[in-house]
Structure 1
Amino acid sequence: MASINPRKDRDGVTIGWQAQVRRNGYPAQSKTFEKKSQAQAWARQVESEVERGVFVSRGEAERTTLGECFERYQREITPSKKPSGQGPERGFIRQWLQRPIARRIVAEIRGVDVAAAVKEMEGEEKSANTIRLHLAVLSHLFTVAQGDWGMESLDNPVARVRKPRLPKGRERRVREGEMGALIGAADLRLACLIVLAVETAMRREDLASLTWEHVDLKARSLFLPKTKNGEARTVPLSPGALESLATLPRNLSGSVFGLSADGIDSAWGRARAAAGIAGGWGDDALHLHDLRHEATSRFFERTDLDLMEIRAITGHKSLQMLSRYTHLRTVNLVERLAGAKRGNR
């Protein structure tokens, strides 16, 4: 049977209402509300769930704030992620902790509250992808809380919130004369790195972590034990890729390029500026990651490799992702329609 009792201050003034539900075989449940009607509604819901045999204790979820959950998530879950992803995730959590929603009891958070946070982020001119990454962390927190932290009564509010639409993917290809200008402006290490990126579609992190022990020039391949999608991959090497690697001197560290991911970005930025190629985020800018688009497109334009063979080289997890990285030049399609065969140009 439920009981609804007033909560009074020292002067005897009612400042809230406490609902209590006790049933044999179930832990006692209690919660305080501002209004008596709210307490009565909560008590009826709990009693109904007990009678239907679907009751799940709300105790933990109803006394823990979202901020406290995020702090626990950062202690217990974030360290289990890939090292490259821990820093960005901590940044997302830090921003969530600064928002008013972090002070809310986690059991009370609804889709409308998450939607309000999304509007805040849009007002801060965060990109659609950045907002989606914030929401992904929040959603995973609710999943962990439901499954691992004994908060089975929680409902994930992120699932019902409209996600910002991602902009159309970049279609920037390396233009005529740009490869020569970049290589001419780069030192030996970066020049070889640029060639290898265009010949293999390797990501920046893969290039930064590449060591000589995983390069086999005789077998014309290199091995990536740890990639972004979590799967190891063996990458076959073209004649151009082999030549670039053979040109590089070895060093005691064992690193092929001796550059961190940030170091690659810095060296790329300097070479791009020296080559007179636009940076920034405009359509005319050329990013290091655009070399992955260029390489993938060239596999389709210049080789007879089929879809699955190209996917095996690039490491895309799905054919849909592979298609996003493929931007074929119209002139090549025109030549193919006229009967031309694919091959080196």
Structure 2
Amino acid sequence: MAYISQRGAYWRAEVRKRGHKPIYRTFDTKQQAREWAQRIEAEISIGIFVDRSEAERTTLGDALDRYAREIVPTKRYPGQERTRIARWKKNDLAWRPLAVLRGTDFAKYRDARRAAGRAENTIRLELQIISHLFEIARKEWGFETLMNPLKNIRKPSGSRARDRRLLPGEFEALRSRLAASLNPWAAPAFELAIETSLRQGTLFILRWEWIKLPARMIEFPPEARGAENKGVPARLPLTRRAVDVLRALTALWQRDRLTNPELCRFGPVNVDLGELTGPVFGTTCNAVLLVWKRVVKSDNGFPNLRWHDLRHEAASRLFEKGLHPLEVASVTGHRSMQMLKRYTHLNPADLLVKLG
């Protein structure tokens, strides 16, 4: 049964039906309240009614808070997800109920971010978290009737594939400038990035316990291997040059311990006994990247070169050594041949010898 009552300047409609909790809503006119009540009663009678009141009360900001509590801790990079959530909560859309958000709202957000100069991949990831939130709300939070408005808009295509490799002479110039910096770990990190093809996140968490120099192998524990196409192989073979760089790093650790016996910030390294423990680098990823950016962006620098381009350089060099694609993938950790192809940029001039 429906009950219509006036509350000040508004009209309140309430529908009560056996087996259902009371449903109510406020309207500007009595006619609107009566029509809504009749529709709800009809939907309950024929068994198609789904309560939307929760979606109408829950704002995007409230849903983001719940998403941060329940879903984000299960993500591989929860810190990045929390940063995106914090950015969304500053947006005006965070104050609006989930039920009233439309695709046009997010299309306007997409266009505004583009106008602000944000990268396509950045915008894609920001929209992706909201799309996943709507799917979780619909499937697991009881909002069955809630439509995902992001399915109705054109998504950014993501980052463009890069093909930047080191030009002739750039390797030597970069190594020289990095070695001349105040951070003695920058140049070895640069060389190891190319010799191992490791991403910066994995490179800077390397530990001596994982490295078997006599066997020329790095054995990654399960928790350090990553997942999906961003993983690393369980055992990574090392080039002879990589071994030489690692041996030089042990000498660097020994020098620092002699000049600073209290050095313990990055863990113990017992070089005297030949037992190496702790991190490989006595610095942070951020410290090396700051040096890198100063060198790359300086006068007579290296235009359009990024640290991640070193991984492209590494993959391309492995092919140039004559390795089979499966052998290259076993080093780079790529689990998709399509992605491995994206990281490989061979010099057409080097193919002339093979072509004859």
The one of 55, 64, 87 equivalent to 1:70 is 64
AA of the residue aligned to 2:243: L
Alignment partner, residue 281 of structure 2: 257
Distance in 2 between residues matched to 1:119 and 1:300, nearest whole Å: 40
Alignment partner, residue 341 of structure 1: none
Q: Which residues of structure 1 form unaligned runs of 5+? A: 279-283, 339-345
Say which SS state the counterpart of residue 248 (structure 1) adopts. Answer: helix
- 2:206 counterpart of 1:210: yes
Distance in 2 between residues matched to 1:195 and 1:57, nearest whole Å: 60
Larger mean CA deviation between 132-141 and 88-97 belongs to: 88-97
Distance in 1 between residues matched to 2:30 and 2:318, nearest whole Å: 69
Q: CA deviation at 1:96?
A: 1.3
- 2:178 counterpart of 1:186: yes
Distance in 2 between residues matched to 1:238 and 1:45, nearest whole Å: 73
Distance in 2 between residues matched to 1:41 and 1:192, nearest whole Å: 74
Question: CA separation of 1:178/1:62 partners in 2, compared to 1, >3 Å: closer, same or farther?
Answer: same
Alignment partner, residue 300 of structure 1: 319
Distance in 2 between residues matched to 1:247 and 1:52, nearest whole Å: 78
The one of 152, 156, 159 equivalent to 1:160 is 152
Distance in 2 between residues matched to 1:275 and 1:196, nearest whole Å: 25
Say which SS state the counterpart of residue 246 (structure 2) adopts. Answer: helix
**Contact kept in structure 2, 1:293 and 1:326, CA below 8 Å:** yes
CA deviation vs aligned residue, 1:248-300 (integer Å, no higher than 9, x gap): 1164261111232212211322443579423xxxxx32111100011111222
CA deviation vs aligned residue, 1:116-163 (integer Å, no higher than 9, x gap): 222222232222111111111111222232333332332221222211
Say which SS state the counterpart of residue 61 (structure 1) adopts. Answer: helix
The one of 307, 324, 327 equivalent to 1:288 is 307
Superposed CA RMSD in Å reads 2.7
The one of 24, 28, 31 equivalent to 2:22 is 28
Alignment partner, residue 245 of structure 2: 244
**Contact kept in structure 2, 1:65 and 1:103, CA below 8 Å:** yes
**Contact kept in structure 1, 2:15 and 2:24, CA below 8 Å:** yes
Distance in 1 between residues matched to 2:149 and 2:25, nearest whole Å: 21
AA of the residue aligned to 2:165: R
AA of the residue aligned to 1:106: L
Alignment partner, residue 162 of structure 2: 170
**Contact kept in structure 2, 1:209 and 1:260, CA below 8 Å:** no
Alignment partner, residue 334 of structure 2: 316
Larger mean CA deviation between 38-47 and 125-134 belongs to: 38-47
The one of 190, 196, 204 equivalent to 2:192 is 196
Q: CA deviation at 1:66?
A: 0.7
1:269-280 correspondence runs (5 A): 269-272=293-296, 276-278=300-302
Say which SS state the counterpart of residue 86 (structure 2) adopts. Answer: helix
Q: CA deviation at 1:52?
A: 5.5
Q: Which residues of structure 2 form unaligned runs of 5+? A: 254-267, 270-277
**TM-score, structure 2 length as denominator?**
0.81
Distance in 1 between residues matched to 2:69 and 2:232, nearest whole Å: 28
1:140-159 correspondence runs (5 A): 140-159=132-151
**TM-score, structure 1 length as denominator?**
0.83
Q: CA deviation at 1:219?
A: 2.2
Q: CA deviation at 1:27?
A: 2.8
Q: CA deviation at 1:164?
A: 1.9
Question: CA separation of 1:119/1:41 partners in 2, compared to 1, >3 Å: closer, same or farther?
Answer: farther
Distance in 2 between residues matched to 1:164 and 1:142, nearest whole Å: 18
The one of 92, 95, 98 equivalent to 1:106 is 98
**Contact kept in structure 2, 1:181 and 1:275, CA below 8 Å:** no
- 2:116 counterpart of 1:124: yes
**Contact kept in structure 2, 1:297 and 1:328, CA below 8 Å:** yes
Alignment partner, residue 325 of structure 1: 343
**Contact kept in structure 2, 1:277 and 1:286, CA below 8 Å:** no
AA of the residue aligned to 1:173: R
Aligned residues: 324
**Contact kept in structure 2, 1:173 and 1:290, CA below 8 Å:** yes
AA of the residue aligned to 2:247: A
CA deviation vs aligned residue, 1:201-249 (integer Å, no higher than 9, x gap): 1000111100000111122211334245364522111222222212211
Alignment partner, residue 342 of structure 1: none
Distance in 1 between residues matched to 2:339 and 2:33, nearest whole Å: 50
CA deviation vs aligned residue, 1:25-53 (integer Å, no higher than 9, x gap): 33333233446676567556655654554
Among all aligned residue pairs of Structure 1 and Structure 2, give the percentage whose two residues are the same amino acid: 39
